[in-house]
């Protein structure tokens, strides 16, 4: 089954304790992105990647890091989490055929930083 | 950067009626406009998209229109059904794809039986 998977789905942590949220896709997509979703603010892009070893900042990259060492994986790293990073996080992947594109989202990771 | 405004924030319609959700964007360079549907507890799902070289696109009961001059685009759902109840997001991008997507804040569509 074609899908984007994220782990963990739920995470409670404390301020300053480094964490990684993994994202993996089995569709051989070139493009991958991370978003956060907050009430009243909608979806905001954190980082995106256009291919292996190619990443770029989205609208809200502060406090986050990403890496794209393999095509299928795009982990999100919080080196020193803070309470304002409490949010619902989505990973997404997509591919393009000419000018047609479909973006697939993962199920989400709900993070609480105490 | 790009700014996308979406209205209304909540929309309640009778089953069988039509629903229209509107978005405006600020960056005239934007050329890709997808719409997503998010059901409770799930990630957003792309339902339709339009690029700036066309004015309208249809897929069964769903259609999207684009007015580049006015910088606005709309989602139209006809013959609404209970399963259409969800949060809908519009988005805009100047990169021709998913790099640099800016989302609207979402519309909670409620279908009344």
pLDDT digits (tens, 9 = 90+) for B82-102: 999 999 999 988 666 666 788
The overall average pLDDT reported for chain A is 93
Q: Give the number of C-alpha atoms closer than 13 A to the C-alpha of residue B54, restricted to the C-beta side.
A: 13
**Which chain A residues are Cβ-neighbours of B44 within 8 angstroms?**
43, 90, 105
The predicted structure's pLDDT at residue B98: 64
Find residues 28-47 of chain B whose CB sits inside 8 Å of chain A.
32, 34, 36, 42-46
Query: Which residue from A31, A42, A101 is facing B104, i.e. has the nearest CB?
Result: A42
A81 touches chain B (CB under 8 A): no
A54 touches chain B (CB under 8 A): no
**Per-residue pLDDT reduced to its tens digit, A71-104:** 999 999 999 999 999 999 999 998 876 656 678 8
Q: Which helix (H) or strand (E) holds A62?
A: none
Residues A74, A6: Cα–Cα separation, whole Å: 10
Asked whether residue A19 carries a pLDDT value surpassing 90, the answer given is yes
From first to last of the 113 residues of chain B, give the pLDDT tens digit: 788 999 999 999 999 999 999 999 999 988 889 999 999 989 999 999 998 888 999 999 999 999 999 999 999 999 999 999 999 999 988 666 666 788 899 999 999 99
DSSP-derived letter for residue A85 is: G
The predicted structure's pLDDT at residue B51: 87
Contacts of A39 (CB under 8 A, 6+ apart): none
The predicted structure's pLDDT at residue A100: 63
């Amino acid at each position: 089954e074609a899908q984007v998977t994220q782990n963990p789905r739920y995470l409670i942590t404390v301020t300053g304790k480094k964490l990684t949220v993994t994202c993996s896709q089995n569709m051989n997509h070139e493009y991958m992105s991370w978003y956060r979703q907050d009430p009243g603010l909608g979806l905001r892009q954190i980082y995106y990647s256009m291919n292996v070893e190619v990443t770029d900042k989205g609208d809200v990259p502060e406090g986050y890091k990403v890496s794209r060492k393999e095509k299928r994986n795009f982990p999100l790293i919080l080196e020193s989490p803070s309470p304002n990073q409490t949010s619902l996080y989505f990973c997404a992947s997509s591919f393009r055929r000419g000018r047609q594109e479909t973006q697939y989202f993962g199920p989400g990771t709900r993070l609480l930083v105490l | 950067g790009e700014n996308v405004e979406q209205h209304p924030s909540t929309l309640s319609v009778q089953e069988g009626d039509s629903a229209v959700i509107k978005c405006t964007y600020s960056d005239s360079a934007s050329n890709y406009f997808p719409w997503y549907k998010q059901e409770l507890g799930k990630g957003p799902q792309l339902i339709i998209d339009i690029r700036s070289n066309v004015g309208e696109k249809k897929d069964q009961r769903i259609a999207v229109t684009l007015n580049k001059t006015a910088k606005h685009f709309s989602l139209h759902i006809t013959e609404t059904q209970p399963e259409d109840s969800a949060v809908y997001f519009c988005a805009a991008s100047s990169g021709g794809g998913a790099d640099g997507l800016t989302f609207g804040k979402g519309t909670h569509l409620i279908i009344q039986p």
